[in-house]
Homo-oligomer: A and B are copies of this chain.
């Protein structure tokens, strides 16, 4: 459908990767920086000064050209393609989430990322019944034309991937493509890239750490119209995926289980919180049917085409979402020191929403945003979920 979309030039891609691979730059700050500075290269140049304003004690580490060129070389060897957020191959509904990765590293067929997708997630130590049910769901969804996304973990995830290989399986890595995790998933990944795709937002050689898994989960849910949680103990990672799905305004489905089965505690809790009960693939198909009408998908694609493209750096300023525009003058002046200190004082270790923060700060939204960008660059705060922010622990390992 429609006109070919711009792609980043090779040199723009290097800039984008340098920016997103730089210290303290997350997807949200990446977007704010692009909006303020007009291009990734300009943002990279501005980084040290912005971080200093935010209160960074040491100079912020900026990814070097050499580092990115090495990543591109390793990526080429692995058959990884980079897809930037404004490009036509970027998954259209992932683009809608607040913390969409600016660049996805993709192995396999990017077409799989364009199709209506459902996520199936669940326990690593799943029961036999849970595994069988995940398999049934994945087959049923595949037959109905859905791609199935998951997180490549042992148990439910891998079973869902294996059952959707021929109809379209998309896996999301917590680390880089050169460090598939868990390692036993390597053969499965090779089969997935034949018909489907495996994606990662991390540097190609990144070894995943604990905190990368919840972060990865927002991409699993963000790729999908709905997320099905098959089995989940209380506090398990699958529930984080479900929480992301809710924050992203996506459907959450949960399979019920015996009140005496600890692996069903999380899913039963989800049902109490209003998730849609799923005992058969038809429950999912019925709930998602209205979202899958051709009209809606056409509209989505229109939207992507119609919006100024992130990949066309000249258009970056216009492309930023209405709430995200940092007027250049505010940026040129730097954030107000008073506002920044007030915000740092308001934040604690428990995440609060940006709305709550803006209300408590009693400052113009624009100044709050500039202050947050500077504080994040200084490594003093971190975003979590779609819309929450907290002080970063002083002795953080990150």
Q: Which residues of B contact A359 (CB under 8 A)?
A: none
A12 interface hit (Cβ, 8 Å) = no
Q: List residues 251-287 of chain A with CB under 8 A from any CB of chain B.
A: 255-261, 264-265, 268, 271-272, 277-280, 283
* Assembly CA distance A67 to B54 (angstroms): 95
Determine the residue in chain B with the shortest Cβ distance to A127. B258
Q: Are A268 and B258 in contact (CB under 8 A)?
A: no
Partner of A264, one of B130, B256, B265, B280: B256
- Interface size of A in residues (CB-CB distance below 8 Å): 21
Partner of A132, one of B133, B260, B264, B272: B260
Q: Which residues of B contact A277 (CB under 8 A)?
A: 256, 268, 271-272
A136 smallest CB distance to B (angstroms): 8
Determine the residue in chain B with the shortest Cβ distance to A132. B260
Partner of A256, one of B259, B280, B283: B259
* Assembly CA distance A272 to B278 (angstroms): 9
A58 interface hit (Cβ, 8 Å) = no
A21 smallest CB distance to B (angstroms): 43
A209 smallest CB distance to B (angstroms): 34
A129 interface hit (Cβ, 8 Å) = yes
* Assembly CA distance A264 to B260 (angstroms): 13
Partner of A129, one of B255, B258, B265: B258
Determine the residue in chain B with the shortest Cβ distance to A257. B258
* Assembly CA distance A272 to B283 (angstroms): 9
Determine the residue in chain B with the shortest Cβ distance to A260. B129
A270 smallest CB distance to B (angstroms): 10
* Assembly CA distance A272 to B280 (angstroms): 12
Q: Are B256 and A278 in contact (CB under 8 A)?
A: no
* Assembly CA distance A255 to B280 (angstroms): 17
A273 smallest CB distance to B (angstroms): 10
Q: Are A259 and B271 in contact (CB under 8 A)?
A: no
Q: Are B256 and A258 in contact (CB under 8 A)?
A: yes
Determine the residue in chain B with the shortest Cβ distance to A271. B277
A126 smallest CB distance to B (angstroms): 12
Q: Are A133 and B279 in contact (CB under 8 A)?
A: no
Q: Which residues of B contact A129 (CB under 8 A)?
A: 258-261
A134 smallest CB distance to B (angstroms): 10
Q: Which residues of B contact A280 (CB under 8 A)?
A: 259
Q: List residues 126-172 of chain A with CB under 8 A from any CB of chain B.
A: 129-130, 132-133
A372 smallest CB distance to B (angstroms): 39
Q: List residues 25-47 of chain A with CB under 8 A from any CB of chain B.
A: none
* Assembly CA distance A359 to B341 (angstroms): 72
* 6 CB-based A-B contacts, threshold 8 Å: A132-B260, A256-B258, A256-B277, A259-B279, A272-B277, A272-B279
Chain A residues with a Cβ under 8 A of chain B: 129-130, 132-133, 255-261, 264-265, 268, 271-272, 277-280, 283
- 4 closest cross-chain pairs (CB), A and B: A256-B256, A259-B279, A129-B260, A268-B279
